[in-house]
Each structure stands twice: as C-alpha cells, then as structure tokens.
Structure 1
Amino acid sequence: MTWTEEQARALITDTGTLKRGQELAAPAKWGNLGRTDTAAWGECKGSGSKPYQTGIDLTAPAFKCSCPSRVFPCKHGAGLLLLLARQPQLLSPAEPPGWLQEWLDKRQQAQEKQVAKSVDTAAAAAVDPAAAETAAAVARQKREVQRQNRMQRGAQELEIWLVDIIRAGLAALDQQPRSYWENQAARLVDNQLPGLATVVRELPALRHQGADWPSRMLSRLGELYLLVRAFLRLPELSEDARQEVLQLVSVNLKKEDVQATQPSVTDEWRVLALATTEEDRLTVRRAWLQGQRTSCFALVVEFSFGGQAFATPLVPDGFYEGELTFYPGLLPLRAIPGQLTFQGIQPANPVPPGSGGPGQLLAAYAAALARQPWLREWPALLGGGVPVPTAEGWVLRFPAEPSAAGMVGATSVTNRLIEIRLLCDDSFGWELRAISGGFPLTVFGEWTGQGLRPLVGWDTVAELQTS
C-alpha cells in the first residue's frame, strides 16, 4: 500500500499539528522504524530521556503515541505518517513491537464487539419486525409533533415578514439596515429554527451584486416562502418530504435513529473529493464518495473541534468496503458511515466511471430540482470538457449539445461550443488547466444551478485535488 503526502495531509486536520509534524518528518528524528501491511511504527526522539513510541493502524487509519497530547494524530503521529509517505523505504518490514501489538489487538477486539452488538440488535428486531417498525414509527411521529409545536410560532412570524417584504417591494430592501435582517434571524433562532435564520442572514448580501440581483433576491425569497409554507403544512406531506423540510429548518436527526430506521447500502466506496472549511476552532469536512458497484454518490459531513481527528478517517482516492446509511429525504445524499474497512489506495488514480456531458448533468439536475425545490448542490461528474479562462471567469468548454444550450449555467458560445461556468478562484482554474494540458479532462464537483464548484479533476496520467 503506497501513501502520498497529499493523502497523509488529509488525515492531519489541525494546521499547527501539520506544521510540527513536517518538522519531525526527518529520518534523524526517528529510531526503530518498521512496518507491516497494516501498521507502521517508530520511536521519536524528544526532550526527555525516553523516545516517544508512535504507531499507526493503517487499516483505519488510527494513531497511538506515548506522548501526553490528547490530539490525534499528535505531531509525532503526523511526522511518522509524512515520513511513511515521503520515504517509505526507511520503514523496513518487521514484526510489530509488543506495545504496538497490544494496542492493535485491543482495537481488533473492540471492532469485533461492535460487530457482535450490531448482529444482536438485528436479531432482536427480527423476532417481531412488524412490531419494532410500528413502535419506531410512533416514536418518530411523537418527536416530530413536539418539534412542530415549538417552532410553529417562529414560522408563522417569518411568513408574515416575507409577505410584508413583497408588499413593500424589493426597492425598499435597499434602505433596510443590517439590524432589520439580524433581528428577524435572532427571533428564528429563539424559536429553534436556526436553518431558516441562516437563510435570512444570507439575503442582504444579494443586494446590488450584479444587474440581476432583484431576480435572484425574488427567487431566494420565493424558496424561503415555499419552505415556510411546507413547514406549516407538515402533516399533509409525505414522510420523505416531512423529513426533508425538518432537516432544512435545522431539526437535527440523531445518527443512532437514522441508522436504526433507514436502510443501509453496502458497497466499495471510493473517496472522490475532500473539502474542508474552518471557522474559529471548528473544522467541517465534506467528503464525496462513489459506490463502485451501485455508482451512487454519498456525502459524508463530519466536524472536528480543536484539532481533534474526524470520526471517520478518510483519505483522497481511498477505497472502503462497508455500509453507509442515508438520511431520509426527497433526495437522499448525505450519509452516515457504518463499519468501513480500508481497502487501499488506487495507485494509478483512474478516472471514475459514469461521467457525462452538460446535457446529462442539466437534465439530471432539473429532475432533482423538481423533486426537491430547495436543492443547493448536486454531485456532478463531467467528462470531455476543457478548462478555459474568460473575461467573466473560468469555464469548462464542451462540444455543443442541443439539450444543454440556454439552460442556467450553460452558455452556447457558437453553434459548436457550450460553456459551463466554474465557481473557483483563478489559482484553481490554472491548476485544472495545467492538469488538462489544454485537452479534455473529467471533473467532479458540486453543481449549484449557477455553475460548477470543482473539487477534483483527472486526466489519464495525473490527478488534482483541493486541499
């Protein structure tokens, strides 16, 4: 199994740990280095008399170190992983030392207990599956009613506020101070509707951003009004629609409830792209996966606070065999990882299967939008486009397809070309251009309805990923 430095960096979420780990990724800092197919270890020289014993379970991956740090990976674990990626020949094949083997055995025993617990739970439900499902449905309905009662007042106030905006006209919004929006958002938070509050806070930024801002403002207000009306009529909606609306207004579903009530999908999952954002000390990671047998996409969103490791270790282009459980909704995309077994990394980075052209993407997006009108992003695997800089920004240029011309985000340049707008900065655009060499490539990203936010691109010999 070969590790790249980029894949190693993806597991080190804390920037300070990464910096210190890079300083320790030097052969002179280590002794007693070794590895097997599933583990790596070494002793890192520190200020004390005894070196720090550092090990990595490469199947998860997971880290162990004798240092007092509570952050995993610590700087020693980060240094060892980077050293493994940069100079794997330094870690000779050997039998794991006793301290590492003991830790690996405990991890194996814990995994076996978890599997046994899952089997016992399934067996208990199998005794009377109808009764178990009925009880679960009643409990879910009871929780939903309680939540609805607490949030009805906030939704009704927001509906009146939106109607007042339309009656006064969009021109009046130009005169409204920041407090006009913040006060309404604060009331929504007080009424336990933080999802709606987030949308309200985004509205003032739309003013005077481009000549078409009134159209985009009206569209966003319409989406928000539709969501409020849907929430106020929850009992009339289907189960999937109810769950979708509740999640959009930020009613969080417990992972345990989702895994207990929703079917799981077993497949070999490939990590197509990892995108992380950081605010204060909270890091959010969005991981897009693709099933190798089912070809379906899955979005795994996880959070890390204060530099702690993410709950599910994922590396770019890694393959994982196991289960994902999808959140309920009109278009299930977000998923919860179950037992995932790391299968390795594809060394050649081949282009993932299933790519299509602009016509296929826009048709799929239109169908998805018809089912879920509040859709903000849609997984897009586009093949055959050439990244090109223009005066308005970067685009992917394709041979013309009649079915794509004239639709949002696609512009017919001539009778033989179609352009898909790329929502990326100039630096990433040039990186895509360098990868393509001016020839067609395959790009995976998030389609927003206004363009494609590219996350990763492939050609036949190289791969590019965002950090």
Structure 2
Amino acid sequence: MTQQGVRWTADQVLALAPDSTSRKAGSKLGSADPWSGTGSSREGAVWGVCEGSGGTPYRTAVDTAGGTGPAYRCSCPSRKFPCKHALGLLLLWSGGEGAAPAGRAPDWVEQWIAGRRRTQAEGEAGATAPGSGPVDPEAARRRAERRAERITAGATELEERLADLLRSGLATAEQSGYALWEETAARMVDAQAPGLASRVRELGALPGSGPDWPVRLLEECALLHLLDQGWLHRERLPEALAAAVRARVGLPTSPTGPPVRDHWLVLSQHDTQDPRLTTRRIWLYGTASGRTALLLSYGAAGRAPELTLPVGLALDAELSAHPGAGRQRVSLGEQFAPPVLNRARPPGMTTTEATARYGETLRQDPWQDSVPVTLDDVVPTPDGEAWQLADAEGDTALPLTPAAASRPGLWRLVALSGGAPVKVFGECGHRGFTPLTAWPSGPGEAVRLC
C-alpha cells in the first residue's frame, strides 16, 4: 500500500480492531503525543515507540504488505491482534506523511520483517515441494472411511432423537430444557460431525425464545432431518449437492479446480464469535470476473483471526474455489502486489431480484442461510418497529434482520442515505437482509456497517 503512495483511511484502520474496546483504546493513541521514532518505508513497514503506563515504552511495528494481510509486532503484553498500540500507530500513519515520515526502518523492524518474509517463503516452498502430500494415502483413506462411519452412526442417532421429539410433541422441548440439546450436540461432536452439533445447539436455543417458537423449531427440525437424510443417502445425490451435504455436516474441504486471478475488491469483513471460535467472513468481488467469493479465517476464542483485509481495498491475487453449491467459499493463493485502495463498486440489483437469487440458491443448497447481494438504489425506511430497504423506483422492499436493526451500523446507513437512494452490499436470507457495506449515491468511499 505504501509502495503505491496510498495510505489507509481511519475507517479502514479501525476496521482491523478485534473488538469495540480495542477500537476505542486505539483511537486514543492515534495522535502524535505518545509516539516517538515513527516512520514508514516504501516496502510497507510502519513503526514507532509508544509511551506506556510503566517505565518502559512499547516498540510497535506493522507490516502492511504482509502476504495474508497486515502483520503486527508489539512489545506490550496484550494478546489481541492488532493491539491498541498497533491501531494507534496505523491511525497516526493514516493522517499523512508528516506523522510517519518515509525512511529506513530500524534494525529491530528490518529483522522482524526479514524473518516474516523468510517464513512465508519457506511455507510456500514446503506447500509445493514434492512429497508434501499424504505420506500414506491408504492410511488416509481408511481414516476417512472410519470418520464417515462415525458420522453415519451419529446421523442415525439424531434421526431417532428427532422422531422422539415429534412423537412426544414440540411442547416437551420447552420442558426438557437446554441440557438435552447440549447432550445431543456432544454426541454429534463425538461422531466427528461438528456441523450437525452446531445445528443441534441452534435448536436448543429456540424453545421459549419468543412468539411462534414452535413453528421455527419445526422448520429447523425439518432442515436438520433433510441434512441427516442427505448424508445417509449421499451416494444418490448430484455431486454439487453431495458436496454441500459433506460441508454442512462438517467435513473439511480443499480447493478444487484452477485458481482465478483477478483484482478482488474487499466488500466487507465481519466477525462472529462463539465460546470456542472466532470466525471472520471476508466477502470479495472480482472486478474482471464478476464473481463474489467468501474467505473464511478463524481464531481461538477471544482472539481475532490473523487474516485482515479492510473494506475498500483491492488485491491482485489468485483465489481457488472449494467444492459445493455455488462454489463461493475460496482459499487465498498467490498475491502479486500489496492491496491498494480501489473505489470500484460492484453492480447491483433490485430487492425482487435479490429474493429470487436466494430462492434459486436454495435449490442447490437447502441449508443456505443467506446469499451475498448488492442492492441498487434502495432507501432505509422504518416499518413499524422494524426497518426495511425499499426500492427507490419500485414498490417492493426487503426487511432487515432483527440483529441488523439493532446494530449501530443501521444508523450509519440511515445517516449516509438521508432519505436518498444508496447502494448496499449485504447478505439476503430467509430472516431478511443484513447490510454490511454501503456507498452514497454520488462519489464517495465505502462505509462499513458492521
């Protein structure tokens, strides 16, 4: 990014924050007062020394041209990545050349970056070296067969649990409490079917969760039954649907097919958390291919994933698609240049077309919660106690999901619109539309909504 003379904006820097606490703390360190010895290099390094609460200042450096996104080094004891000092340093750097003047990096920065480059090169060489595949393919095949047998046993047991629930009546689900569902989910984990375990836990949260919960519980039970049957009869399914079943059950997948090189625009980045894992979803749009792709990155509970791509940047890179309906999930391959600021916008559609696209996707993957779409010329409008995105030139609208309507990003979207049409990227599903990024009707940068 610094190679092309482009610095990130403050919003792009704050998009890197692992949580709101870090965002607030990093903002306080975004001025020159606590910093000394700051600088930046044409190779993408930014560095500085920040005064701390103790007697020893913290050495902080960021490699903005890292192979899988920015990388951070700080002598502070924080376990968050990036820490508040890295965020403050990047905010200072985003303010202009004077805050972090160009120059030669100190030895401690050069040594760190040289080590990172060496490790990346060794990793790439190891991934492509002859003999890097399975040492014993026959043993790998036997392990896969044993796991499939365990999953089949788990799916069969789950079918019996669902049948028992329907025989005794859905009302008993509220009386049984969450313990029964957690026990069933643990059995699915033992069966090495984490996808089934996750859906069972979602079932356990539905009883007594609000109006019409029995209807929602029955719908989710039906989808879970369909997934069970899909696994038990997977040999009869078309390959794309069978791949979707394997992925939904929780089997790992590897990229297939040739990689696609493009300039990939970063449309959104947002995290979801559970007690065990932080999942980062990064949506990309190929400006030449017209493809929308999803990068997934994971971090341990309470820690942000390493891969970070701020909204509004574009990277010249190869992506390889995973099997499954739509082939939207991808893995990041070779990057040919550091990410750069890009003001391109993806083409959009109407709310009616977005709903039709989601319906078409369900034919290929009935368990798909949502699809990525960009809406053109929509206006956020209140609908009673809820909100919706209404077509400016039509009479149709998409309701926002309850979770989206309660986020601060909703008010950012309303302020950006001011009653005028805007372009919005997000996820459209059976619960409604979740806006993730928006652009004003005229010139302007992308605005992150999550």
1:124-273 equivalent positions in 2, closer than 5 A? 142-171=142-171, 173=173, 175-207=175-207, 212-253=212-253, 258-259=254-255, 261-273=256-268
| SS in structure 2 at match of 1:313 | coil
Gaps in structure 1 of 5+ consecutive residues: 126-131, 401-415
Q: How big is the shift at 1:315?
A: 1.3
- Using the size of structure 2 for normalisation, the TM-score is 0.84
Task: State the alpha-carbon separation in 1 of the partners of residues 53 and 163 from structure 2.
Answer: 67
Q: Verify: 1:13 aligned to 2:22, yes or no.
A: no
Q: How big is the shift at 1:186?
A: 3.3
Task: State the alpha-carbon separation in 2 of the partners of residues 298 and 202 from structure 1.
Answer: 26
Q: Verify: 1:374 aligned to 2:367, yes or no.
A: yes
Tell me how many residue pairs correspond in the alignment: 434
Spell out, residue by residue over 1:205-255, the C-alpha distance to the aligned partner (whole angstroms, 9 max, x if none). 4446666544433322221111111111233334443332222122334xx
Q: Does the 8 A contact of 1:14 with 1:307 survive in 2?
A: no
Spell out, residue by residue over 1:303-360, the C-alpha distance to the aligned partner (whole angstroms, 9 max, x if none). 22366553323112121121222222123222222233423123xx45x222111232
Aligned counterpart in structure 1 of residue 30 of structure 2, from 19, 25, 28:
25
Q: Verify: 1:359 aligned to 2:352, yes or no.
A: yes
Q: Verify: 1:82 aligned to 2:91, yes or no.
A: yes
Q: Does the 8 A contact of 1:14 with 1:308 survive in 2?
A: no
Q: Verify: 1:42 aligned to 2:42, yes or no.
A: no
| Bigger radius of gyration among the two | 1
Deviates more, 1:27-36 or 1:178-187: 178-187
Q: Verify: 1:466 aligned to 2:444, yes or no.
A: no
| SS in structure 2 at match of 1:457 | strand
Q: How big is the shift at 1:204?
A: 4.7
Task: State the alpha-carbon separation in 2 of the partners of residues 67 and 399 from structure 1.
Answer: 50
Q: Verify: 1:100 aligned to 2:109, yes or no.
A: yes
Partner residue, 2:319: 324
Aligned counterpart in structure 2 of residue 417 of structure 1, from 395, 410, 413:
395
Q: Which has the higher helix share?
A: 1
Q: Does the 8 A contact of 1:264 with 1:325 survive in 2?
A: yes
Q: Does the 8 A contact of 1:72 with 1:309 survive in 2?
A: yes
Deviates more, 1:383-392 or 1:96-105: 96-105
Task: State the alpha-carbon separation in 2 of the partners of residues 392 and 75 from structure 1.
Answer: 37
Task: State the alpha-carbon separation in 2 of the partners of residues 462 and 69 from structure 1.
Answer: 32
Q: How big is the shift at 1:367?
A: 1.5
Task: State the alpha-carbon separation in 2 of the partners of residues 75 and 173 from structure 1.
Answer: 45
Aligned counterpart in structure 1 of residue 60 of structure 2, from 37, 49, 54:
54
1:270-349 equivalent positions in 2, closer than 5 A? 270-279=265-274, 282-305=277-300, 308=303, 310-340=305-335, 341-346=337-342, 349=343
Give the letter for the 2:50 counterpart. C
Task: State the alpha-carbon separation in 2 of the partners of residues 193 and 100 from structure 1.
Answer: 44
| SS in structure 2 at match of 1:331 | helix
Q: How big is the shift at 1:80?
A: 1.3
Partner residue, 2:433: 452
Deviates more, 1:284-293 or 1:182-191: 182-191
Partner residue, 2:381: 388
Task: State the alpha-carbon separation in 1 of the partners of residues 160 and 74 from structure 2.
Answer: 58
Distance 1:162 1:279, change over 3 A: closer
Spell out, residue by residue over 1:158-201, the C-alpha distance to the aligned partner (whole angstroms, 9 max, x if none). 21222333344445545544344334333333333332232223
Task: State the alpha-carbon separation in 2 of the partners of residues 429 and 243 from structure 1.
Answer: 36
- Using the size of structure 1 for normalisation, the TM-score is 0.81
Distance 1:83 1:270, change over 3 A: same
Give the letter for the 2:412 counterpart. E
Deviates more, 1:21-30 or 1:221-230: 21-30
Spell out, residue by residue over 1:105-133, the C-alpha distance to the aligned partner (whole angstroms, 9 max, x if none). 44444444445555655xx89xxxxxx99
Task: State the alpha-carbon separation in 2 of the partners of residues 442 and 287 from structure 1.
Answer: 19
| SS in structure 2 at match of 1:89 | coil
Give the letter for the 1:29 counterpart. P
Q: How big is the shift at 1:372?
A: 0.9
Deviates more, 1:33-42 or 1:367-376: 33-42
| SS in structure 2 at match of 1:353 | coil
Task: State the alpha-carbon separation in 1 of the partners of residues 21 and 417 from structure 2.
Answer: 33
Gaps in structure 2 of 5+ consecutive residues: 1-5
Measured on the aligned residues, the alpha-carbon RMSD in Å equals 3.2
Partner residue, 2:3: none
